[in-house]
A and B are shown apart, each in its own frame.
Chain A
Amino acid sequence: MIQLQSVTKSFKNIKAVDNLSLDIKEGETVVLLGTSGCGKTTTLRMVNRLTEASSGNIKVNGLDIKSHQPEELRRGIGYVLQHHGLFPHYTVAENIATVPTLLKWEKTKIKVRIGELLEKLKLPAAIADKFPAQLSGGQQQRIGLARALAADPPVLLMDEPFGALDTVTRSEVRKEFSSLDELKRKTILMVTHDVREAIELGDRICVMDKGKIVQSGSSKKLLFNPVNDFVSSFFQEDKLRFELETTSIKDVWKFLSDTTDSAEGVEIPIHENLWRTIELMAAAHPQPKITYISKYGPETKVIDLPSLMSAFSQSKNSFIDG
């Protein structure tokens, strides 16, 4: 859906993006992760031609981006900015209607679409007539997303979409975003320096440094098989937690102790990650009698903390070995 082929961007003599290639499949969410100045934002902005590449080709939906007028290209790509970038003199409704208006949609169609988006983002309908300054940070960021989604573009570019929010609001809005149906169908290229964000939202993470992609792959791959210290340094803090979060019960199933025939108890879904499972158990701790089980096909296994941890460490070794 989005293809970057040997793309380079130089500012004077400095290469901000250096011969970078990246292929994003339809419906995939790719996160560019890196420290500031690594070229991740430049890479993103080249896709909608806010920055023009010095050399190389970029294709969106199979078409070279230079075959369009830049304005036409941008109207077909959703764009979410770090500081929401809402127009302060437009109401929420007018902000959301920006691209549909530019595309000359009918008024009624725009109105319906606004209502739909507000509902999906769990915002009250009355907010439509307010101005951005009257909203909370989280609401502003949601409207920023609604504006990007308004014309239902197949491709979405997100430049640190949660960067301006406080930690509490950030994880809240992020959760909402990740559960949003409409986003699941989109091809998304997102930029962030927040590892947690990358892990939660990215199907694939590209760690960038000095204009190049250092390593690209699933969060699990980066966590358990980093190519170098630079990549592993990103996950240094909260490493165990990230590992537990990216590992599901299913992943460690074969290492869990043997089947009990008549296991009964509270069932934990097989796809639940280990971190959440442990949290659940810890929360119920004063009542020691509770038994937890999981089912995988015909098998049912009892889950407890020692067996879970031992299975995790075994699976980790096997993952690294393999």
Chain B
Amino acid sequence: MDEQQQTLWMFMSEQSGKLLEQTLSHIGLTFISLFLSVFIGLPTGIFISRNKKWSGAVLGFAGILQTIPSIALLGFMIPLLGIGPKPAIVALLLYALLPIIRNTYTGINEVDRAVTDAAKGMGMTSMQILFKVELPLAMPVILAGIRTATVINVGVATLAAYIAAGGLGEFIFGGIALNNTNMILAGAIPAALLAIIFDFILARIQNFNVRKTKFVLLAFPLILILLSSFYLLPSAIGSKMLAGFTPEFMGRSDGYLGLKNKYGLNIRTVVISDAVMYKAAYEKQLDVISGYSTDGRLKAFDLVVLDDDKVIFPPYYAAPVVNQDLLQKYPEVETTLNMLSGTINDSIMTDLNYKVDYLKQSPERVAKDFLIKNNLYKEARSGNKGVVRIGSKIFGEQYILLQMYSMLLKGFTDLSVEAKTGLGGTKICFDALTNNQIDLYPEYSGTGLLVILQTPASIVNQIIGDKDKVFTYVRNEFLKKYKIVWLKPIGFNNAYALMMRREQAAALKIETISQLKRFIDHN
């Protein structure tokens, strides 16, 4: 425990610059959206408290907005607003709207009729009644709504890291992808602290004497604007070209760190989910992205891979990793799964991925078509001998492989298959395997080397250039440490790669990463 805490502390102090930047942009995101939300929600709440017939429709609409899963809402925003802060702020704003509108409406409605009646009878105008009587008396309820909205926003803002809007989600999702607990905590703890601190501060404001309403009405927007401006600080510096990297890539030695160390690449970066990264590059919102060399979208969006001339990206040969116990129990699994070995090279895999990711064919159909074409498809047999549980990470290629393995096992053995798709990233898949929640899943040699085994740099540097050495090392270590077997590689290498739009790369005459570095340094 002691050691764990110390390393977390070390990680945080080591990454303090980044942590500060992420925290500031997190606060900024939360409060820009909160400010806009109050700006829209408060008048809307007042409006429906005056025009009751609208209240049902408006509150219903805001309620529906809130039921949309946050990641889906962010997804909806991308076609409309692209990537970056804009869609994130709009999504957060929509989330914060309901508590603010509802509490404004309720707060005003709950003001004693006798009091508003008296105000009217004394000769106050309806504006005077609003500002001198209704709002001050409703203020504690309205502030409670803002408080709820703030806490919601601090939480949802972590997801902004998926669409290049920054925030503490960069560490959290990077950490999940990299199997790095310290990194997860370095994002999660400050995020939780922010929520607690803001909640506490707002609770204090809420308990203020209602008489200080004037102060609250003046100070609150100012504080919000001040906090919002945090967001603008970090992005003020940087070069002309913009790179979008996944949270995982940002934290890897064979990713952004390697680019910095080995190539000395100094490019302005944003963190983004790979789900939207390719499209963003295609739409010229990003110039350089970290992709996978077999990704179907490479073809779809007309991107080119930059040559890794200093070899920082290790080989990522895909192969099934299987629990040793399963192989002892059902030896036919090994031979069946190995039937796929040698059938898929890089370009075939890219094509299969293209069909799923871009042509939107189902992974099942793509897998079946491929197997039939290669005479590997047979109708399912009885399936009564036992169950094999296959896992996959959440992206197209893994779904296709899962389907192929599933069809092979059903067709060539008497085993039945239980598919567990969507096991997030590497960490989740691997933990599921070691905890005997699944029996096998497709993994990549480079991921095994760096992410799971966390192999020291000295060994990595010796073997990184040779795909067979890497595979052998990983296979031996896995067997020794986890009793998990790597079967034969399928054949394709889904390595990390830097990519650019084909036309831009051609125009700038950039073919290798070194050329990219020189271009950035001279411009």
Complex interface residues of chain A between 115 and 151 (CB less than 8 A to chain B): 147
Residue of B nearest to A79 (CB): B121
Query: How distant is A204 from chain B, measured CB to nearest CB, in Å?
Result: 23
Complex interface residues of chain A between 72 and 88 (CB less than 8 A to chain B): 72-76, 79, 81-88
User: Do A147 and B122 touch across chains, with their CB atoms under 8 A apart?
Assistant: yes
Complex interface residues of chain A between 52 and 83 (CB less than 8 A to chain B): 71-76, 79, 81-83
**Mask: chain A, 96-108; 1 = CB below 8 Å from B; 0 = not:** 0011001000000
Query: Quick check: is A48 within 8 A (CB to CB) of the other chain?
Result: yes
Q: A-contacting residues of B (Cβ < 8 Å)? A: 112, 114-115, 117-125, 128, 132-133, 136-137, 210-211, 213
Query: Quick check: is A50 within 8 A (CB to CB) of the other chain?
Result: yes
Query: How distant is B177 from chain A, measured CB to nearest CB, in Å?
Result: 52
Query: Which 5 A-B pairs give the minimum distances between C-beta atoms?
Result: A85-B118, A75-B123, A74-B123, A79-B121, A83-B114
Per the bound structure, the CA–CA distance linking A72 and B123 in Å amounts to: 6
**A50-B117, A87-B133 known; A99 and B210 CB under 8 Å?**
no
Per the bound structure, the CA–CA distance linking A50 and B119 in Å amounts to: 11
Query: How distant is A188 from chain B, measured CB to nearest CB, in Å?
Result: 15
Query: Quick check: is A289 within 8 A (CB to CB) of the other chain?
Result: no
**A89-B136, A89-B210, A89-B211 known; A102 and B119 CB under 8 Å?**
no
Residues of chain A lying within 8 A (CB to CB) of residue B132: 87
User: Do B117 and A85 touch across chains, with their CB atoms under 8 A apart?
Assistant: yes
Residues of chain B lying within 8 A (CB to CB) of residue A86: 115, 118
**A71-B123, A71-B125, A102-B124 known; A81 and B137 CB under 8 Å?**
no
- Given contacts A74-B122, A79-B118, A79-B122, list 8 more A-B pairs with CB under 8 A: A79-B121, A81-B121, A85-B112, A87-B118, A87-B133, A99-B122, A99-B123, A102-B124
Per the bound structure, the CA–CA distance linking A263 and B67 in Å amounts to: 94
Query: How distant is B324 from chain A, measured CB to nearest CB, in Å?
Result: 72
In this complex, which of A50, A102, A157 has the most chain B Cβ atoms within 10 angstroms of its Cβ?
A102
Query: How distant is B244 from chain A, measured CB to nearest CB, in Å?
Result: 51
Residues of chain A lying within 8 A (CB to CB) of residue B124: 71, 98, 102
Residues of chain B lying within 8 A (CB to CB) of residue A157: 121
User: Do B115 and A85 touch across chains, with their CB atoms under 8 A apart?
Assistant: yes
User: Do A48 and B121 touch across chains, with their CB atoms under 8 A apart?
Assistant: yes
User: Do B114 and A98 touch across chains, with their CB atoms under 8 A apart?
Assistant: no
Query: How distant is A66 from chain B, measured CB to nearest CB, in Å?
Result: 16
User: Do A75 and B137 touch across chains, with their CB atoms under 8 A apart?
Assistant: no
Per the bound structure, the CA–CA distance linking A228 and B122 in Å amounts to: 38
Query: How distant is A23 from chain B, measured CB to nearest CB, in Å?
Result: 23
30 A-B contact pairs sorted by A residue (CB < 8 Å): A48-B121, A50-B121, A71-B123, A73-B123, A74-B121, A76-B123, A79-B118, A79-B121, A81-B114, A81-B117, A81-B118, A82-B114, A83-B112, A83-B114, A85-B114, A85-B115, A86-B115, A86-B118, A87-B118, A87-B132, A87-B133, A89-B136, A89-B210, A89-B211, A98-B124, A99-B122, A99-B123, A102-B122, A102-B128, A157-B121
Residue of B nearest to A132 (CB): B115
Query: How distant is B69 from chain A, measured CB to nearest CB, in Å?
Result: 41
Name A89's contact: one of B114, B122, B123, B137 (CB within 8 Å): B137
Per the bound structure, the CA–CA distance linking A79 and B114 in Å amounts to: 12
Per the bound structure, the CA–CA distance linking A99 and B128 in Å amounts to: 12
Question: For chains A and B in complex, what number of residue pairs have CB atoms within 8 angstroms?
Answer: 61
Per the bound structure, the CA–CA distance linking A76 and B122 in Å amounts to: 9
Name B120's contact: one of A50, A82, A89, A99 (CB within 8 Å): A50
Per the bound structure, the CA–CA distance linking A81 and B116 in Å amounts to: 11
Per the bound structure, the CA–CA distance linking A124 and B119 in Å amounts to: 25
Per the bound structure, the CA–CA distance linking A103 and B210 in Å amounts to: 24
Query: How distant is B210 from chain A, measured CB to nearest CB, in Å?
Result: 5
Residues of chain B lying within 8 A (CB to CB) of residue A84: 114, 118
Query: How distant is B188 from chain A, measured CB to nearest CB, in Å?
Result: 41
User: Do B123 and A87 touch across chains, with their CB atoms under 8 A apart?
Assistant: no
Residues of chain A lying within 8 A (CB to CB) of residue B117: 50, 81, 85
User: Do B125 and A88 touch across chains, with their CB atoms under 8 A apart?
Assistant: no
Query: How distant is B128 from chain A, measured CB to nearest CB, in Å?
Result: 7
Per the bound structure, the CA–CA distance linking A98 and B122 in Å amounts to: 7
Residue of A nearest to B139 (CB): A89
Query: How distant is B108 from chain A, measured CB to nearest CB, in Å?
Result: 14
Residues of chain B lying within 8 A (CB to CB) of residue A102: 122-124, 128
Residue of A nearest to B111 (CB): A88
Per the bound structure, the CA–CA distance linking A74 and B132 in Å amounts to: 17
Per the bound structure, the CA–CA distance linking A50 and B117 in Å amounts to: 8
Residues of chain B lying within 8 A (CB to CB) of residue A74: 120-123
Per the bound structure, the CA–CA distance linking A75 and B132 in Å amounts to: 16
Per the bound structure, the CA–CA distance linking A147 and B123 in Å amounts to: 12
User: Do A88 and B115 touch across chains, with their CB atoms under 8 A apart?
Assistant: yes
Query: How distant is B207 from chain A, measured CB to nearest CB, in Å?
Result: 14
Per the bound structure, the CA–CA distance linking A85 and B132 in Å amounts to: 14
Residues of chain B lying within 8 A (CB to CB) of residue A81: 114, 117-118, 121
Per the bound structure, the CA–CA distance linking A181 and B519 in Å amounts to: 93
In this complex, which of B120, B123, B125, B211 has the most chain A Cβ atoms within 10 angstroms of its Cβ?
B123
Residue of B nearest to A76 (CB): B123
Per the bound structure, the CA–CA distance linking A75 and B120 in Å amounts to: 10
Residues of chain B lying within 8 A (CB to CB) of residue A85: 112, 114-115, 117-119, 121
In this complex, which of A48, A72, A84, A87 has the most chain B Cβ atoms within 10 angstroms of its Cβ?
A87
Residue of B nearest to A74 (CB): B123
**Mask: chain A, 221-255; 1 = CB below 8 Å from B; 0 = not:** 00000000000000000000000000000000000
Per the bound structure, the CA–CA distance linking A88 and B125 in Å amounts to: 19
Query: How distant is B329 from chain A, measured CB to nearest CB, in Å?
Result: 75
Per the bound structure, the CA–CA distance linking A141 and B447 in Å amounts to: 78
User: Do A75 and B122 touch across chains, with their CB atoms under 8 A apart?
Assistant: yes
Query: How distant is B268 from chain A, measured CB to nearest CB, in Å?
Result: 51
User: Do B128 and A87 touch across chains, with their CB atoms under 8 A apart?
Assistant: no
Per the bound structure, the CA–CA distance linking A157 and B120 in Å amounts to: 14
Residues of chain A lying within 8 A (CB to CB) of residue B123: 71-76, 99, 102
Residues of chain A lying within 8 A (CB to CB) of residue B120: 50, 74
Residue of B nearest to A85 (CB): B118
Per the bound structure, the CA–CA distance linking A103 and B112 in Å amounts to: 25
Query: How distant is A141 from chain B, measured CB to nearest CB, in Å?
Result: 13
Residues of chain A lying within 8 A (CB to CB) of residue B119: 85, 87
Per the bound structure, the CA–CA distance linking A157 and B119 in Å amounts to: 14
Per the bound structure, the CA–CA distance linking A265 and B43 in Å amounts to: 76
Residue of A nearest to B136 (CB): A89
